[in-house]
C-alpha cells in the first residue's frame, strides 16, 4: 500500500481508538438509576461500604465493597484502562462508610505493599494527596 494510503488508515485508526477510549466510561445501569440531589463534592455511598471512584472528587464510575478483597483485578471497570479494564490501580477518591471499622487499601494484591488506612467516616477526595492515586490493589478492614 502507498505511504499516503497508510497514513490515512493510521489516522482513521487513531480516531477510532480515540473514540473508543473517550467512550469507555459508561456508567452501569445501576449507577445511572435513582438520580438524587446532593451537595457538590458529597460522595454517594451507602452505609456499610467503602466506595471509590475512577476520578478525584468522587467523580466518574464508582465501585464499592463491603468485604475484604485480595485482588482488585477481579472487578471489572472499563473506564480504568483500555487494556486492563478492572479496578486494579484505578481508584482516585475514596470514602469509608463502613459500620465498624477502618478500611485499609494496599498497594499490591493480597494485602501487601504500602497501606492507606481510612477511618470509619473518613473520606479522601483526591488520593494524590495521600500519594495513593491509582495504586489500590486489595482491601481489608479493622
Taking the least distance from each CB to Ca ion, the nearer of 51 and 135 is 135
User: Are 48 and 98 in contact, with CB atoms under 8 Å apart?
Assistant: yes
Report, in Å, the least distance between residue 135 CB and Ca ion. Answer: 5
By beta-carbon proximity to Ca ion, the closer residue of 7 and 73 is 73
Task: Give yes or no for residue 134 binding Ca ion (CB under 5 A).
Answer: no
Residue 102, all three cell numbers: 477502618
37 three-state secondary structure = coil
**Which phi and psi angles does 45 have, rounded to 5°?**
-155, 125
Do 23 and 78 touch, CB atoms closer than 8 A? no
Cβ 124 to Ca ion shortest distance, Å: 16
Closest CB to Ca ion among residues 45, 105:
105
Reading phi first (left if > 0) and then psi (alpha if -120 to 50, else beta), residue 24 is in: alpha
Q: Convert residues 62-101 into a mask of x (bound to Ca ion by CB under 5 A) and - (unbound).
A: ---------------------------x------------
Please identify, using beta-carbon distances, which residue of 45 and 135 lies nearer to Ca ion.
Answer: 135
Which of 93, 137, 138, 139 is close enough to bind Ca ion by CB under 5 A?
Answer: 137
Interface size with Ca ion, residues (CB under 5 A): 4
Question: Which secondary structure element, helix H or strand E, spans residue 95, and what is its range?
Answer: strand 93-96
**Radius of gyration over every alpha carbon of the chain, rounded to an integer in angstroms:** 18
Contacts with Ca ion by CB under 5 A lie at: 89, 107, 135, 137
Amino acid at each position: 500500500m502507498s505511504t499516503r494510503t497508510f497514513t490515512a488508515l493510521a489516522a482513521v485508526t487513531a480516531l477510532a481508538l480515540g473514540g473508543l477510549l473517550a467512550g469507555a466510561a459508561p456508567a452501569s445501569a445501576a449507577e445511572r438509576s435513582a438520580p438524587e440531589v446532593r451537595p457538590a463534592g458529597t460522595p454517594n455511598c451507602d452505609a456499610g461500604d467503602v466506595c471509590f471512584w475512577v476520578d478525584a472528587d468522587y467523580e466518574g464510575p464508582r465501585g464499592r465493597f463491603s468485604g475484604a478483597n485480595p485482588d482488585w483485578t477481579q472487578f471489572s471497570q472499563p473506564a480504568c484502562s483500555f487494556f486492563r479494564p478492572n479496578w486494579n490501580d484505578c481508584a482516585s477518591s475514596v470514602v469509608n462508610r463502613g459500620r465498624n471499622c477502618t478500611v485499609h487499601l494496599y498497594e499490591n494484591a493480597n494485602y501487601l505493599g504500602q497501606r492507606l488506612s481510612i477511618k470509619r467516616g473518613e473520606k479522601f477526595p483526591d488520593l494524590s494527596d495521600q500519594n495513593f492515586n491509582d495504586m489500590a490493589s486489595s482491601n481489608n478492614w479493622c
